[in-house]
Structure 1
Amino acid sequence: MAKEVTFSVNQVEDEQVKPSLLADLRELFKAGVLMANVLPVFTGFWLAIRLTGLSFSDHLSLLLLTIIGSTCVMAGALIINNWYDVDIDTVMRRTQKRPTVTGHMSLKTVLWLGILLSVTGMILLWFTSAEAAFWAFVGWFTYVWLYTMWSKRRYTLNTLIGSVSGAVTPLIGWAAVSSTFHFIPIVLFLVMFIWQVPHTFAVAIRKHDEYKAAGVAMLPVVHGIDITKRQTTVYIACLFPLPFLLAELGVAFVLLATLLNIGWFIFAVRGFFMEDHLKWARMIFLYSLNYLVIFYVAMIIVTAVF
């Protein structure tokens, strides 16, 4: 009888800690990363509509197709990344809840899900414009092949290569409406590209020991934290001229973006005087998240109000 009671208690505990399917999918899709990439897609779409004089309400179906298509492509790329990196994810504590590691989903199922979402997203974007589908493919190919399968484990340049995949997101949104042969989407690409480098460096410092154990060639693991701090500061400084190239969006936006850059640069410089590297990296990481949201939402607001 005692054994039966013990088994029942353990069974209840297992049911309580066992992740739900929704939790598994959230880990598989890297929900936070996925949502962070949807905002630039929408902003690119919105700016293309506003700056070309089109009606936003007349293009809601196009917006829906663009958001769903781009989200599917990005989700597919992230899932394939999980499939390929299962050995790394098993070592790193931050990724050990992914269903590829826990075994809640078979690797074959994960791979086919990633392929299915990728292809579906490309097809949906093709119905918006061939150029939008092209930029989505550039992002997918860069993330899956050039970053995940080629450079991530070999070269510290993996951060720059991976940044290209995130930087095309505003181009996808813009291209669904109009040609990206325009100054604004090019600048948005540069902002996203440069922003991702200090953001990723901050993550790499915070998870230094995990990346080292997994054999991932992140900059602080290979060349040390001091040089990572210096490069973080340099990349943030590279953001300074970009708001002035977006003067078409108005003085208020240029001023706000410049203040954001100054604030981030000050936090970066503080790193040279702080011995607590983890605390500094957390500051840079949190600021980068707020920077991205404020920067892109501000562009929507100023073009909606003014």
Structure 2
Amino acid sequence: MSALAGERPARQVLRDYLMLTKPRIVLLLMLTGLAGMWVAAGGPPPPGLTTVTMVGLGMACGAANAINMWYDRDIDAVMKRTQKRPLPGGRLSPAQALWFGVTTGVLSFLILATVNLLTACLAAAGLLFYVLVYTMWLKRSTVHNIVIGGAAGAVPPLVGWAAVTGTVDWAALAMFLVVFVWTPPHFWALALFRGEDYARAGVPMLPVVRGERAAKWQILLYSVLLIPAGVSLYFTGRVGALYLVTAVASGCAMVAASVRLLREQMPRLDWAYRTYGWSLLYLTVIFLAMVVGVNRV
């Protein structure tokens, strides 16, 4: 077992704490939160407000991920893609991970409370839903884990919107809907080419429980639903034609990738992995389109 924190250089320890937050996921969630701020403001939000909100939101997302790693350390140890994480790798102790996650979560609430109480409560609700509902309950108990649990990852646009307006309206909910509908095909594509990992860990992901074919059809269904989900924001009047075209084109690209995945006869690693990559690109592009295509006020 590798040495724990305190026996290693501070730089390596800090890197492991950063790994607990899943920084690439945090950056993607922060993009959706920033888009929420941008659309709510009808253009660039105030720099000071943006900085405080993004720091607090990033900390809330990172805290949720750290507590998730603390709780899931047993299954992370048997899944090949997660065996090198700080806890199964023995580089941090469970107590250190839990302390870090809880402390970061509390600090995120205090930071966001300086913006307004609704913003802080929404971020805290997303954190608690991810930890208590998804991680500790749904993930290991139902094939619908990702469908319901996806609500946690869809909270950042609401946080960004509330930071600017102090409220949540239909446009914010439309942005929430995009991430909520996007989450199942994104994770089911991952589960297709990591199916042996999830089966070994006893996680009831759709491809493991219902089979590869059923999972592919569900990926296609949700990809089709992404088109109306994405377009819904346009009808709030907050974004213009550029966003509408991007939402339709991006949604159609996801559908095309899903159809190709459904028809795939070669080993599933190929198009399952590509569909997973397309889903990441989809979310990035559509939220950037919200920023670029916002109707300025």
TM-score computed with the length of structure 1 as normaliser:
0.88
Answer yes or no: is the 8 Å Cα contact 2:174–2:233 preserved in 1. Answer: yes
Seen in structure 2, the aligned counterparts of structure 1 residues 111 and 174 have a Cα distance that, compared at 3 Å, is same
Answer yes or no: is the 8 Å Cα contact 2:231–2:247 preserved in 1. Answer: no
* Counterpart position of 1:102: 89
Residue from 117, 126, 145 that aligns with 2:104: 117
Q: Distance in 2 between matches of 1:100 and 1:159?
A: 23
**Structure 2: any 5+ residue segments left out of the alignment?**
1-10
Q: Distance in 2 between matches of 1:281 and 1:243?
A: 22
Q: Does 1:136 align with 2:123?
A: yes
* Counterpart position of 1:72: 59
* Counterpart position of 1:192: 179
Q: Which runs of 4+ in 1 moved over 3 A?
A: none
Seen in structure 2, the aligned counterparts of structure 1 residues 68 and 181 have a Cα distance that, compared at 3 Å, is closer
Q: Report the number of matched residues.
A: 283
* Counterpart position of 1:261: 251
Seen in structure 2, the aligned counterparts of structure 1 residues 244 and 152 have a Cα distance that, compared at 3 Å, is closer
Q: Distance in 2 between matches of 1:154 and 1:245?
A: 32
Q: Does 1:271 align with 2:261?
A: yes
* Counterpart position of 1:292: 283
Answer yes or no: is the 8 Å Cα contact 2:37–2:163 preserved in 1. Answer: yes
Structure 2 SS opposite 1:102: coil
Answer yes or no: is the 8 Å Cα contact 1:180–1:186 preserved in 2. Answer: no
Q: Which amino acid letter does the alignment assign opposite residue 91 of structure 2? A: H
Deviation at 1:270, TM superposition (A): 1.5
* Counterpart position of 1:217: 204
Q: Distance in 2 between matches of 1:244 and 1:286?
A: 22
Alignment of 1:126-205 (within 5 A): 126-205=113-192
* Counterpart position of 1:13: none
Larger Rg: 1
Structure 2 SS opposite 1:80: helix
Answer yes or no: is the 8 Å Cα contact 2:130–2:149 preserved in 1. Answer: yes
Answer yes or no: is the 8 Å Cα contact 1:167–1:192 preserved in 2. Answer: yes
Could you tell which deviates more after superposition, 251-260 or 241-250?
241-250
Q: Which amino acid letter does the alignment assign opposite residue 30 of structure 1? A: K
Q: Which amino acid letter does the alignment assign opposite residue 55 of structure 2? A: I
**Structure 1: any 5+ residue segments left out of the alignment?**
1-18
Per-residue CA distance 1:5-64 (angstroms, 9 max, x = gap): xxxxxxxxxxxxxx933442342111111111110011111111117xxx73xx221111
Q: Cα RMSD between the aligned structures?
A: 1.7
Identity of aligned residues (%): 35
Answer yes or no: is the 8 Å Cα contact 2:36–2:172 preserved in 1. Answer: yes
Deviation at 1:181, TM superposition (A): 3.5
Structure 2 SS opposite 1:100: coil
The structure where helix makes up a greater share of residues is 1
TM-score computed with the length of structure 2 as normaliser:
0.91
Q: Which amino acid letter does the alignment assign opposite residue 79 of structure 1? A: A
Structure 1 SS opposite 2:294: helix
